[in-house]
Chains A and B, each alone.
Chain A
Amino acid sequence: MSGISLPQITFLALSAMALVSGVLVITRRNAIHSVICLIVTLFSVAGIFLLTHAEFLFAVQIILYVGGIMVLFLFVIMLVNLDVAAKQAQFSSHWLVAALTAGALTAELVYGIYLGRAEFKASQPVIFPAPAPVTNTQAIAVGLFQTYTLPVEIASLLLLVAMVGAVVMAKRKFE
């Protein structure tokens, strides 16, 4: 194992961080601590994006998830009375259903990995792609606005409808 390189060490560290904090998200009793662990997970994944030269995805991941959505998570959780919530019995009456669902999901994932086992060659060193001549941002822009214009437009229309729906639902009734 003498040929282990700096990117590989970084990758392993980031993956370990993502997995550990991912587990912590569901084991913490304090909701704020869970959110912070989730932030660490998202951050580690962003780091892995950066390692594979997907700079644009890295930035978007942090701006949208870490900088935007998680702030709103914290915002809402802080307004809930946490002391009461932590003392109440945890939501565990449906553990049988939960175990079955988790089991089914695990089986599905294992089957998926088994199908694609040809791609996992642990004996070969991991090669991180060199930066492409076209920047990541340009490649994504071409993909979104030239190759797949129609699907992107349909998706954005759907999101617009959802947004308008949220506004209508949140609006106070004046009558």
Chain B
Amino acid sequence: MINTATQFLLSHPLIFATIKILIVFNVMSAVLMYIVYMERKVLAFMQARLGPMRVGPWGVLQALADPIKLMLKEDIVPSGADRTLFLLAPVISVAAAFTVFSAIPFTSSFIISDINIGILFILAVSSLGIYGIILGGWASNSHYPLLGALRSAAQLVSYEVAGGMAIVGVLLISNSLSLRDIVVKQQQMGVWNVFIQPVGFFVYLVAAIAETNRSPFDLPEAESELTAGFHTEYSGFRFSLFFMAEYTAMILVSCIAVTLFWGGWLRPFSSYHRFDFLDYTPIAVLLAAAVAIVLGARKNQVPMEKLVLFGIAAAFVLLAFGLAVPVVTAAIQGIFWFSAKVFVFLYAFIWYRGTFPRYRYDQLMNLGWRVMIPLGLANVIATAVLSYVLTSHTASAAASMIMTR
């Protein structure tokens, strides 16, 4: 019985892929809802406010209330709009953003498709998302969206070049276009690429913020000048699709940055056994979360909410015990460290939004073309020359460690 089942699964490889896609899609959707909540909370705390507090304890159910509200709203198509394109644009944005996840290695084994041109595939498909913005802005038949779309097109085309340059530096070190191989290479070298390619990482980070239209580069939707930029005329579910696309792109560039520069699923100091106690971090995090919930719930006035919160805390403690089983501890290492690093990036994205004022349009273009692209180009040339000199002319141990294929 089990044998025939396994054989059936092995003869139909699409089933496994479909299951993986469903997992990634659903987890991402849940994460998306809570990033919006996290962003509102973190920004509020940075501005000495409380943020959403009404729906559920500390407003945690706000993340569910917002999408429901958006879905129930009327889907308005402006008169004079190009109807087909207007309806299609948000779908393009979301589809492009989600498709890219198929090449991201979440752990050494959990990857939907290990393509040998992984990074090129990611660059290619994520560059399609811009059509959602351009077509949405144009099809609205309105001035602000069109201006927002044009700005966006110029911005994305400019910063894509800088981002590409930054990635080339990593590729020169890794000798592979496959994202999985790039992480494995960092494991072999025993050092994350960010320490070898600090300039490349910086350029990639700036380009990533610009490409996701995040503050301080959120010119395509600058409220004070363009109302809401390319999605001014959108409402209800289609607006929320654009919203989803933006946040998905944010998770996506974080995933790529983690994979290329921060060692992907690798634990910090994974080659030193002295630091093996770090394997227990997931358990510590769960216990700390349980303690935080209990401390917060003590002050809660609603008895029902109090009970549920204590229940959740107890579940966390139980889960922590479950994770303490050695097999389970080993199994969750990859996904835990990957998510933890992505979370740091997402937090940083929100942090920048709370910190930096928006650039002016000419400043944005100057920064892209006169600073970032030359910097990226210099980084590529320096990396290429150094790795060539180190491999072919000196046979020092360090060099062979960096560049052995």
Contact A59 B124 (CB under 8 A): yes
**Cα distance, A79 to B115, chains bound together (Å):** 39
Is B25 an interface position by the 8 A CB rule? Answer: no
The interface stretch among A21-29, A68-76, A103-111 is A68-76
The interface stretch among B61-69, B146-154, B243-251, B294-302 is B146-154
Contact B128 A62 (CB under 8 A): yes
Q: How far apart are B245's CB and chain A's nearest CB, in angstroms?
A: 16
Is B398 an interface position by the 8 A CB rule? Answer: no
Is B104 an interface position by the 8 A CB rule? Answer: no
Of the residues A63, A79, A137, contact of B177 by C-beta under 8 Å: A137
Of the residues A39, A67, A135, contact of B160 by C-beta under 8 Å: A67
Is A32 an interface position by the 8 A CB rule? Answer: yes
Is A45 an interface position by the 8 A CB rule? Answer: no
Q: How far apart are A84's CB and chain B's nearest CB, in angstroms?
A: 15
Neighbouring B residues of A135 by C-beta, 8 Å = 116
Q: How far apart are B300's CB and chain A's nearest CB, in angstroms?
A: 51
The interface stretch among B130-138, B321-329, B372-380 is B130-138
Neighbouring A residues of B160 by C-beta, 8 Å = 67-68
A interface residue count range (under 10 / 10 to 19 / 20 to 34 / 35 or more): 20 to 34
**Cα distance, A172 to B82, chains bound together (Å):** 37
Neighbouring A residues of B123 by C-beta, 8 Å = 59, 63, 67
Is B351 an interface position by the 8 A CB rule? Answer: no
Contact B153 A71 (CB under 8 A): yes
**Cα distance, A72 to B150, chains bound together (Å):** 10
Q: How far apart are B335's CB and chain A's nearest CB, in angstroms?
A: 27
**Cα distance, A137 to B134, chains bound together (Å):** 31
Contact B127 A62 (CB under 8 A): yes
CB-CB nearest in chain B for A39: B131
How many residue pairs between the two chains, A and B, have CB atoms under 8 Å in the bound complex? Answer: 69
**Cα distance, A32 to B82, chains bound together (Å):** 10
Q: How far apart are A135's CB and chain B's nearest CB, in angstroms?
A: 5
**Cα distance, A74 to B138, chains bound together (Å):** 10
**Cα distance, A156 to B185, chains bound together (Å):** 32
Contact A78 B146 (CB under 8 A): yes
Contact B153 A137 (CB under 8 A): no
Is A66 an interface position by the 8 A CB rule? Answer: yes
Contact B130 A71 (CB under 8 A): yes
CB-CB nearest in chain A for B117: A55
Contact B150 A66 (CB under 8 A): no
Is B10 an interface position by the 8 A CB rule? Answer: no
Q: How far apart are A7's CB and chain B's nearest CB, in angstroms?
A: 14
> What 1/0 flags go to A50-64 for Cβ under 8 Å of B?
000001101110110
Contact A71 B157 (CB under 8 A): yes
Interface set, chain B 47-100, CB cutoff 8 A to A: 82, 85
Contact B127 A68 (CB under 8 A): yes
Contact A62 B125 (CB under 8 A): yes
Contact A63 B153 (CB under 8 A): no
Interface set, chain B 219-247, CB cutoff 8 A to A: none
**Cα distance, A58 to B177, chains bound together (Å):** 14
Contact A32 B138 (CB under 8 A): yes
Contact B130 A67 (CB under 8 A): yes
Q: How far apart are B201's CB and chain A's nearest CB, in angstroms?
A: 22
Is B280 an interface position by the 8 A CB rule? Answer: no
Q: How far apart are A136's CB and chain B's nearest CB, in angstroms?
A: 8
CB-CB nearest in chain A for B120: A59
CB-CB nearest in chain A for B178: A135
Interface set, chain A 9-33, CB cutoff 8 A to B: 32
Contact A74 B153 (CB under 8 A): yes
Contact A62 B124 (CB under 8 A): yes
**Cα distance, A59 to B128, chains bound together (Å):** 12
Neighbouring A residues of B131 by C-beta, 8 Å = 39, 71, 74
Contact A56 B146 (CB under 8 A): no
Q: List 10 A-B contacts (CB under 8 A).
A: A32-B82, A32-B138, A55-B116, A58-B117, A59-B117, A67-B123, A74-B138, A135-B116, A137-B117, A137-B177
Lowest 10 A-B CB distances belong to which pairs? A67-B127, A59-B120, A62-B124, A55-B117, A63-B124, A59-B124, A75-B153, A59-B117, A135-B116, A74-B134
